[in-house]
Structure 1
Amino acid sequence: MRTLVIGGVAAGTKAAAKLKREDRSAEVILITKSSDISYAGCGLPYYVGGLIETEEELIVNTPKKFEGLTGVRVLTGREAFHLDAEAKYVQARNLANGEEEVYSYDNLILAVGASPIVPDVPGMRLPGVFQMRTPQDAYAMRAYVEEHRVKRAVVVGGGFIGLEIAENLQVRGVSVTVIDMMPQIMPNVLDPEMAAYVKKHLQKSGIRIQTGTALKAVLGENEATGIQTDQGTIQSDLIVVSIGIRPNTAFLKDTGIKMDRGTIVVDEQMRTSLPDVYAAGDCVVVKNRITGMSQWSAMGSSANYEGRTLAQVLTGKDKTYPGVLGTGVVKLPGMNVGRTGLTEAQAREAGYDVETVLAVTDDKAHYYPDSDSFATKMIADRGTHKLLGIQVVGAGAVDKMTDIAATSIAMDARLEDLENLDLAYAPPFSTAIHPIVQAAYILQNKISGEMVSMTPAEYARGKAKGYKVVDVCPNPQIAGAVYVDLSTVNGAIEGLAKDEKILLVCLKGKRSYFLQNRLKAYGYTNTVVLEGAQYFNDVKVEGVKFQVSPEEITRVKALGFLQDKRTSNCFNGRVITRNGKITAEESRVIAEAAEKFGSGEITMTSRLTIEIQKVPYENIEPLREFLANAGLETGGTGSKVRPVVSCKGTTCQYGLIDTFHLSEMIHERFYHGYGQVKLPHKFKIAVGGCPNNCVKPDLNDLGIIGQRVPSVDLEKCRGCKICQVENNCPIGVAKMEDGKLHLDSGQCNHCGRCDGKCPFGAVATEMEGYKVYIGGRWGKKVAHGHALDKIFTSEEEVLDIVEKAILLFREQGITGERFADTIDRIGFENVKKQLLSDELLRRKQENLAAQKHLKGGATC
C-alpha cells in the first residue's frame, strides 16, 4: 500500500509519521515544494525578535533526520501541479532541474497548506516588504532589520501573526504601527469591546493601531519608505503584510474535488469527495464543534490533530475528527490574549439565546508578588446554561483559562459543571476559587437575576445615560460620582432615592455586586452593576470634567506628555526632533498638530525637543497617530537614553566636526536602538562642535566635543616679535618664551584657532577627533564631567564609547542614581579602564537581557 503525501509542514509530516508507526509495512512518500520540512511556523515572529536566536532552532526536523526517525521517504523541491484521481497519480515539477515527475499512489493525502495573501497594490515587490509564512521570510526580515537598522515599521493586518510580529519588532527597538481595514483588530476572534480593550493596551505599550484603514500602495523607488492608505501616508523603513492566507489548492480546480471558497471539504474522517484522496491542515475546511457548521481553522495545533486522525483512519481504526473550537492564544507586550468557542456575535448568529458577562478576577493570590488580573468574557446559552465561549486578557496564564474552557465546551459542559470543579490551587498559580469558576459564578448570578448588570459594550453604546453613578471603590476614585463606603451601609443611603437609576462602579466589580445585594435588601429597585468596572471601562460622570488618574499621568509621561499643572487634564507633548533639526514639512505637520490637538502654541525645551502645549488627555493618542503618519514621534522622558542635544557643528565659525551627522547616528543607535532599555536613571548625551561648549557637553552624562590637536615645528618658528599664533589663541595658552613659540599641551583645549595662523607654517593640525566627557550633569546637583585621556579619531570609536558607557551604567549603576554618582562610587579610573576595553560589549546581550531597573529614577 503506497501513500503519497503532498506537503511537509504540520499535517503532512504528522500524518506520514503516524502512518508509519501504525503500519511499518506501509510505503509512505512525502513530497514538498519547500526545501524545509516540519519547521516551527508559529515561532517565526520570535526569531525576528531575537528570542529564538538561531535559524536551526526553527527547524524541527530536516528531511534526512525525519527519514531516519520515521522511515518516510522525503523528496523536497517538488511542486505538484496536476492530479489525476481516476488514474491515481500526481504530476510534480522538480524545482532543481525543471523536470516533470509522476507519482502513483493507492492513497493520497493533500496537506498543501496555505500561502500569504499578497494585495494587488503598487510597490509590493520593493525591498523592505515582507510576508511571514516560511523560515526564509523570517531569516530575510531579521537580516533586513539588522542591516538597514530599521527604526520604523508598519504591519498591515491586526490578526494574531501581525500582532506577534509587531511585538517582536518593538522588542528590537523598532517603532511600530499596525493598520487593519476592519473596524477592530482580531476580527472574528474577539468581540468588539474585547478588541478595543486590547487596542488601548497596545497603544499604551507604544504600538500604534489604526483600524478602518486600508492599504493603497507601498511608497518608495529603490526600497520601501512608507505606505499610502485611504487615511493618509505613513513613513516606514519596513512593511510587513499579514492580511491573511489562502489555501494552496489552485492546481486542484479541474479535478472535481469539492471545495468551499478554495478550501478542501472533508468529512469527519478527513476524506475528500475524490476516491482514496484525503486532506488535512490549513488547506481544509472542517466543522465547528459547537454548531456543526463549516469552519476554516488554519492552526498548527488542529493541523497536527487532523494529520494524526487521518493516519489512524488509513490503518483501519474507527477514528473521527470532531471539529474545531477556534482555540487560540497570543502573547503581546505586557498582555496575553486567549479565546475559544463562539464569540457573542457568532453565538447569536448560530441561534443561541445568549448571555454574557465580563468578569475581572485576580489571576493568582493577590498577595503573591507577580499577581495580576484576568478580564474574562464568558458566553453561555441563557436557557440551557451551556458554555459557548470565552475570551480572556491579562498578564498571566490566559492559556490555562482558555484550555479549561475548551475542555469544558468539548465535554458539552454547563455553567453548573464548573461550579465545584476541582482545579489546582496554590498562591503562585491560582486563587482558591479558580478565576474561571468565579466567572461562571458571576454569569450564573446574572442569568438568575441575583446580579443585575450592564456590559462594557452596553456602557460604550451609552446605555448608562440618565443613571446616577455611585463610586464603590475603597477610596473615592470617580470625579463627580456619589461616593459610598460599602463597609458603612446598614440601611437606606441619604441622597439616593430607592427607585432612581443607579450605576454601581468599583475597581473590578466585586464591591459593586456586594453593595447591590445589600441595597436590594433595603428596598432599592433599580441598581445596575457595571461589569468590568473601572478596570475595563473608562468611567465618566455626565457633566463632570474628566479627571486623569495619577497612574495615567505617570503612563503618558513615559510617552512624552507632561501634565500642565495649571490644568486638570492637559499635557505638553514633546515631539522628538532627533538632534534639533527637522525638515520644513515636519515643521508644518507639528504646527498643524498644535492647532488641531493642542492650544496652537509651540515651545522648545532645553533638550531641543518641541513641545505642543496644552493637549487634552483625550487628544494624546490621536495626536501621536497624526505625528506618526509624518514619521514623527513623542517621547524623551523616563529612565532611558534621552534625545541627543547638538550644536550647529560646522555651520558655526568655530565648528570642527559635523555634529549633525554624528548626533543623528547617536540618536538612531541609542535613543531608538536602546528605546526599550531601562537604566538606573536618565542618560543625557550632548555633542559639541568645538570647545566653546554651547550645548554644555561636559554637563551631560556623556559629552562629545570636536578637537583639533595642534603640533609646533620649532625649526619653522622664526621667533617673530609679534606672533600671530599667540595673538589668536583665545585662552592664552600659546606664548613666546625665549624667542620660540611654546604651547602647553596640558592647557590647550584643541580649538583649532591656531591652525594656519603662522605665516611660516610653524603650527599645523596634528590630529582631528573627539574628546569624550563622562559623568556630567546639571540641575539640583551640578557636576562637570571627567574627560577621557584619549582623543578618538573616528565616529565609530565614539559610538563604541557611548555604547560602553550606557552598558556600564545599566550593569553597575544603582537604580535611582545618576551616571555621575556611579562613577564617583566605583571610581573614575575603574570606569575609564572599562570604557577603553571591550569587555562591556562582550557582555552586552547578557546585560540587556537582565531584569534590572524596572522602576527607574528619572522624574522628568
Structure 2
Amino acid sequence: MKVLVIGGVAAGTKAAAKIKRQNRSAEVKILTQSADISYAGCGLPYYVGGMIESREELIVNTPEKYTGLTGVEVVTRCEVTSVNFQAKTVTALCQGQTWLESYDKLVIATGATPFVPQVEGIRLPGVFTMRTPDDAIALRAYVQDRHCRSAVVVGAGFIGLEIAENLQAQGLAVTVIDAADQILPKIFDPEMAGYARRRLRQNGIRVLTGTPLSEITGTERADGVLAGGSRIGADLVVLAIGIRPATTFLDGSGLAMEKGVIVVDEMMRTNIPDVYAAGDCALVRNQQTHQPQWSAMGSTANITARALACTMTGTETPYGGCLGTGVVRLGEGFNAGRTGLTEAQAREAGYEPVTVVCASDDKAHYYPGSSFFMTKLIADRSTHQLLGIQVLGSAVDKMVDIAVTGIAAGLTLEAFNSLDYSYAPPFSTAIHPFVQACLVLENKLSGAMTSMPPADYAAGAAKDYQVVDVLPKPTIAGAKWVDLAQVNGPVEGLDRDAKLLLVCNRGRRAYLLQNRLRHFGYTQTVVLEGGVTMNEVKVQFAGAAIPPDEIKRVKGLGCLQDKRYPDCFNVRVITRNGKITSEEQRKIAEAAELFGTGEVTMTTRLTLEVQGVPYANLDALMTFLNDAGLETGGTGSKVRPVVSCKGTTCQYGLIDTFQLSQKLHDLFYIGYHDVVLPHKFKLAVGGCPNNCVKPNLNDLGIVGQRIPEINMAKCRGCQVCQIEKTCPIGAAKLVDGKLQIDADLCNHCGRCVSKCPFKAIEESTYGYKVYIGGRWGKKVAEGKPLSRIFTSEEEVLALVERAILFYRDEGITGERFADTIARLGFDYVEDKLLNGSIDKDSILKKTVVGGAKC
C-alpha cells in the first residue's frame, strides 16, 4: 500500500507516523511545501517574546530525524498543484520541476494560511503574519534590528492576544484592534471578554474593538494603521485576523468542500474513495450540536490524524467531534480557557441555558501565590446538563479539562459534587474550584440564591435597585454599607420590600448576606454575580450629593472638582512629556465637546485638562480617551507625568529630550504606576542649561550638557578671543595668552564649541547633569546637582530608578524627596545613589503609605 500525505506539519506528520507504525510494510511519503516539518506553530508567539530562545527549539523534527524515527519519506519544498482522483495521481512542483506521484490512499493535511486583507500598504516592510517559524524569526529580528517601540496587532483572537503579550514582553507599547465589538469574538460571551479586556488594559495593552483595519500607512516601511476612522502610529504591524484553509489547489476537483474546508465524515473520509483529510483544512463535527465545525487547533489536528491513521490501516476509529476547547495566556498569571457552548450558542442549539458567573480560589487562599478563577458555567435549565465553561485566572486548563470530560460524558452539575478531586494547599481547595462553581449554579437553579448576571447588570437591569455594599469595609461610593458580621436582624436603612442589589468583592459575601436578610423578611434581594471584580459598579449621584470619599476617589483618577460647581470636574489627560499626535489632539477636543464644556486648558506640568465634565460623564469620558490610547491621571503618591522642553528642536538643545522623557514615561510613570511612594515624585528633562522647564525645581531633574575640550596646541592667544567673546557666563578667559575655562563657572552649554577659527575647541562630550531634591509649591526648594556628569541615557535611567527606590525605602510618609535629602544629608544620599547597594526586589515588596493630597 502506498500512502501519500500532502502537508507536513501537525496532522500530516502525525498521520504518516501512525500509519507506518500500524503497517510497517506500507510505503508512506510526505510532500510538504515548507522547508520545515512538524514545527511548533502554537509556540511561535513565545519565540517572538523570547521565552523560546532559538529557532531549533521550534522545530519538533527535522525531515532527516523524522525519517529516521518513523521510516516515512519526506520531500520538502514541494508544492502540490493538483490532484487527479480518477487516476490517483498528484502533480507537484518540486524545486522548479514538475513531479507526478501516484498513490493508493491519499491524506490531505495542507493546513491553513493567514488571511491577509487587501488594503493599501499590506506589502510594506514591517507588516507580518504569524504562521511559520520564518514569520516569527523575521518579526523578532525586525523588533531587535530596528529597535521598535510600538506595534499594532490586528485581530483579538487567541493568536493576536498571544502576539500582543509577547511583543509587550519585548518592551513594545502594543495596541490590539479588532473589527468585532469584543475580544475573543464567538469564543467568549461578552461579559467574560469584557473582563479580560479590562485586565489587558490594566496590564498596559491597549485594546480597541469595533475598529476595522482600512489601511496600513507608511512609505518605505509600515509606520501605523488607519482603523475605525483614526490613525494609530506603530513601528510594525502584525496581522492575526484569521486563517483560511490551504485548499485552493483542489478547486474544481470534485472534492466536497464548504468555503474551502474539506468535508469529512467521522472516520475523516472525504467524498472521494481512498482520500482522507485532517487538520486545519478539514471540517469536523461539534460533539454537542452535531453540526459541522471548523476546529483549526493543533489538538484537533493531532487527534483526528491519529484516528484517521488507525481507520486507514484497518482499525476503524471514529472521531467523536470537537467541543471548541481553547486556552490562551493573556499575561503573567492571567489566562483564559473555554470549552463547550457559549450562552448564545446554547440558545441557538435549542437549549434553555442558565448561567452563573462566580469567583473561586484557585488554591488554598492562605498559600503563597494563591489567586482566583472567574468562571462562567452554562447548563440546561431543565436537565441541569453541563453545556459549557469559560474561565479566567491562573491554571485555567484544569478547570476546562474537567468540563471537557463532563460535557463529553453528558454529566449534570450534581454529578460533580462528590467526585474525589485532588487536594493539597499548593494545588487546589478542599472543595475543588470547579465543584464550587457547580454548587453556586445549583443554588441559583434551586432558588437558594437569586442573582443578577453581569450581562444583565451592564444592560441596566439594576436601575431600580438600591446598591448594598457588602465588602469588609465601605468601598462602593454612594452605596449603603452593611457590616455582614453584625447582621443579626433587620438592617437600619434597608426596607424589607425594597429592591436590594447586594454587591461584594466577588459574590460570596453578598450571598451570605442574602441568606440572612431572607431569614429576616427581606423579599427582593439580588446578588450581583462576580461583584466589583467582574462588574464596574457605579452609584449615580445627583448634584451636590457626591460624597467626599467619591470626590477623593475620582481625584485619584485625574478628575479635579471645579469648585464653582457641585458636580463638575476638570479631567487631566496625560500627554506623555507634552508631545501628542494630531489625532490625539482631535480626540481630546472631541472628548471635550462630547462630555464637557468644549474647552481644554493646559497645565504647568504639560498635561491637558478637559473642562467642566459632569460627574455622570466621567466614566464615558475616560473610556473614550482610553480607546484613543490616552489616559487620565497624574495624581497620588507615585511617579508623576514627565515634563520636557523642546530638546533638539530648540536652537540650544543638546539632547533628544523627547526620546529620553518618553523612556522615563514608559519606565517610571507607566512601569511604576502601582508603586506607592512616600509622596509625589516629579521628573523633568531640560535640553540645555537654559532650564526652560526648571528641571532643578523637580524631585529629580535632568539637564543636557556639552562639555568643551580645549586643544591647547591650537590656541593662538588671539587679542580678541572668539571663545571668550562667545561664552554667555564669562567662564572662558585668556590667562597669560592661553584660553582657560573655569570649571566652577562653566555650565556646559556648549555654545563655545566650533567658535574658534583655529579649532582650539572642536571636541566636546555630550552628557547629562542630574539635580535631586527640587520642588515648587508651598515650600520652593532648588535641587542640588550630583557631582558626576553622566554620559549615557542608560546611566541616567538607572540612576532615576535608584532614586525612586531609595526614596521609597528611606523616605517617610508625607515628606517630599527634598525633605528626605535634608533629613539624611545630601552627601549620604549622593553616595547611596552613586555607589550604594539598593535591593530592588525587597524595596518593592515593602508596604508604603503615601502622603500626597493631590
Relative distance call for 1:382 and 1:832 in structure 2 (3 A) is closer
1:749 to 747, 750, 767: 747
Relative distance call for 1:124 and 1:854 in structure 2 (3 A) is farther
Relative distance call for 1:705 and 1:718 in structure 2 (3 A) is closer
Q: Distance in 2 between matches of 1:449 and 1:583?
A: 55
Partner of 1:356: 355
Partner of 1:337: 336
Give the C-alpha shift of residue 240 in structure 1.
Answer: 2.0
Relative distance call for 1:586 and 1:468 in structure 2 (3 A) is closer
Partner of 2:275: 277
Deviation string 1:385-443 (CA, Å, 9 cap, x unpaired) is 1111001112x211111111111112221111110121122222222111111111111
Relative distance call for 1:625 and 1:310 in structure 2 (3 A) is same
1:86 aligns with 2:95: no
Q: Distance in 1 between matches of 2:469 and 2:738?
A: 86
Give the C-alpha shift of residue 197 in structure 1.
Answer: 1.9
Structure 2 residue identity aligned to 1:624:
L
1:402 to 387, 400, 418: 400
Q: Distance in 2 between matches of 1:137 and 1:714?
A: 57
Structure 2 residue identity aligned to 1:358:
V
Relative distance call for 1:689 and 1:463 in structure 2 (3 A) is closer
Partner of 2:173: 175
Aligned residues: 825
2:774 to 778, 785, 790: 778
Q: Distance in 2 between matches of 1:256 and 1:757?
A: 82
Give the C-alpha shift of residue 789 in structure 1.
Answer: 5.8
1:459 aligns with 2:450: no
1:7 aligns with 2:15: no
Relative distance call for 1:228 and 1:754 in structure 2 (3 A) is closer
3-state SS of the aligned residue for 1:109? strand
Give the C-alpha shift of residue 776 in structure 1.
Answer: 2.3
Q: Distance in 2 between matches of 1:132 and 1:549?
A: 51
Answer yes or no: is the 8 Å Cα contact 2:58–2:133 preserved in 1.
Answer: yes
Partner of 2:788: 788
Partner of 1:257: 255
Answer yes or no: is the 8 Å Cα contact 1:150–1:174 preserved in 2.
Answer: yes
Q: Distance in 2 between matches of 1:750 and 1:461?
A: 62
Q: Distance in 1 between matches of 2:409 and 2:439?
A: 19
Q: Distance in 1 between matches of 2:23 and 2:793?
A: 62
TM-score of the two chains, using structure 2 as the length reference: 0.86
Give the C-alpha shift of residue 532 in structure 1.
Answer: 1.8
Partner of 1:508: 506
Between 489-498 and 348-357, report the one with greater CA deviation.
489-498
Give the C-alpha shift of residue 752 in structure 1.
Answer: 5.0
Give the C-alpha shift of residue 229 in structure 1.
Answer: 3.1
Deviation string 1:634-653 (CA, Å, 9 cap, x unpaired) is 6778867964623555745x
Q: Distance in 1 between matches of 2:61 and 2:291?
A: 35
Give the C-alpha shift of residue 340 in structure 1.
Answer: 0.6
3-state SS of the aligned residue for 2:152? strand
Partner of 1:844: none
Matches within 5 A, 1:526-545: 526-541=524-539
1:853 to 839, 844, 853: 844
Structure 1 residue identity aligned to 2:625:
R
Q: Distance in 2 between matches of 1:307 and 1:555?
A: 56
Relative distance call for 1:164 and 1:855 in structure 2 (3 A) is farther
1:443 aligns with 2:434: no
Q: Distance in 1 between matches of 2:665 and 2:98?
A: 55
Identity of aligned residues (%): 49
3-state SS of the aligned residue for 1:853? helix
Q: Distance in 2 between matches of 1:271 and 1:364?
A: 45
Q: Distance in 1 between matches of 2:548 and 2:287?
A: 45
Answer yes or no: is the 8 Å Cα contact 1:593–1:627 preserved in 2.
Answer: no
Relative distance call for 1:554 and 1:490 in structure 2 (3 A) is closer
Answer yes or no: is the 8 Å Cα contact 2:45–2:159 preserved in 1.
Answer: yes
Matches within 5 A, 1:187-266: 187-266=185-264
Relative distance call for 1:55 and 1:488 in structure 2 (3 A) is same
Matches within 5 A, 1:645-664: 645-646=644-645, 651-652=650-651, 655=652, 657-659=653-655, 662-664=656-658
2:309 to 308, 311, 314: 311
Relative distance call for 1:300 and 1:851 in structure 2 (3 A) is farther
Structure 2 residue identity aligned to 1:776:
I
Relative distance call for 1:237 and 1:269 in structure 2 (3 A) is same
Give the C-alpha shift of residue 765 in structure 1.
Answer: 1.9
3-state SS of the aligned residue for 2:244? strand
Deviation string 1:648-672 (CA, Å, 9 cap, x unpaired) is 55745xx2x444xx22332455544
Partner of 1:366: 365
Give the C-alpha shift of residue 243 in structure 1.
Answer: 1.8
Partner of 2:814: none
Partner of 1:769: 765
1:380 aligns with 2:376: no
Relative distance call for 1:281 and 1:510 in structure 2 (3 A) is same
Answer yes or no: is the 8 Å Cα contact 2:591–2:625 preserved in 1.
Answer: no
Answer yes or no: is the 8 Å Cα contact 2:646–2:657 preserved in 1.
Answer: no
Structure 2 residue identity aligned to 1:216:
S
Relative distance call for 1:53 and 1:497 in structure 2 (3 A) is same
Answer yes or no: is the 8 Å Cα contact 1:258–1:273 preserved in 2.
Answer: yes
1:48 aligns with 2:48: yes
3-state SS of the aligned residue for 1:514? helix
Answer yes or no: is the 8 Å Cα contact 1:174–1:673 preserved in 2.
Answer: no
Between 264-273 and 599-608, report the one with greater CA deviation.
599-608
Answer yes or no: is the 8 Å Cα contact 2:210–2:228 preserved in 1.
Answer: no
Deviation string 1:343-386 (CA, Å, 9 cap, x unpaired) is 11111111112211111222222222322222111111122211
3-state SS of the aligned residue for 2:844? coil
Q: Distance in 2 between matches of 1:368 and 1:548?
A: 38
Give the C-alpha shift of residue 703 in structure 1.
Answer: 3.6
3-state SS of the aligned residue for 1:139? helix
TM-score of the two chains, using structure 1 as the length reference: 0.85
Give the C-alpha shift of residue 132 in structure 1.
Answer: 1.4
Relative distance call for 1:568 and 1:397 in structure 2 (3 A) is farther
1:291 aligns with 2:285: no
3-state SS of the aligned residue for 2:419? coil
Unaligned 5+ residue runs, structure 1?
793-797, 841-846
Q: Distance in 2 between matches of 1:725 and 1:432?
A: 81
Structure 1 residue identity aligned to 2:176:
V
Between 372-381 and 749-758, report the one with greater CA deviation.
749-758
Give the C-alpha shift of residue 113 in structure 1.
Answer: 0.4
Q: Distance in 1 between matches of 2:541 and 2:623?
A: 23
Matches within 5 A, 1:85-164: 85-94=85-94, 96=95, 98-164=96-162
Structure 2 residue identity aligned to 1:253:
D
Coordinate RMSD, CA, aligned: 3.9
Relative distance call for 1:517 and 1:697 in structure 2 (3 A) is closer
Answer yes or no: is the 8 Å Cα contact 1:649–1:688 preserved in 2.
Answer: no
Relative distance call for 1:234 and 1:584 in structure 2 (3 A) is closer
Answer yes or no: is the 8 Å Cα contact 1:365–1:428 preserved in 2.
Answer: yes
Matches within 5 A, 1:799-814: 799-803=793-797, 805=799
Partner of 2:29: 29
Q: Distance in 2 between matches of 1:233 and 1:348?
A: 39
Give the C-alpha shift of residue 224 in structure 1.
Answer: 2.2
3-state SS of the aligned residue for 2:56? helix
Q: Distance in 1 between matches of 2:19 and 2:843?
A: 50
Answer yes or no: is the 8 Å Cα contact 1:710–1:750 preserved in 2.
Answer: no
Relative distance call for 1:471 and 1:272 in structure 2 (3 A) is same
Answer yes or no: is the 8 Å Cα contact 1:123–1:220 preserved in 2.
Answer: yes
Relative distance call for 1:575 and 1:598 in structure 2 (3 A) is farther
Between 561-570 and 422-431, report the one with greater CA deviation.
561-570
Q: Distance in 2 between matches of 1:678 and 1:206?
A: 12
Unaligned 5+ residue runs, structure 2?
812-816
Relative distance call for 1:293 and 1:808 in structure 2 (3 A) is same
Give the C-alpha shift of residue 341 in structure 1.
Answer: 0.6
3-state SS of the aligned residue for 1:443? helix
Deviation string 1:20-54 (CA, Å, 9 cap, x unpaired) is 23333222111111111111111111222222222
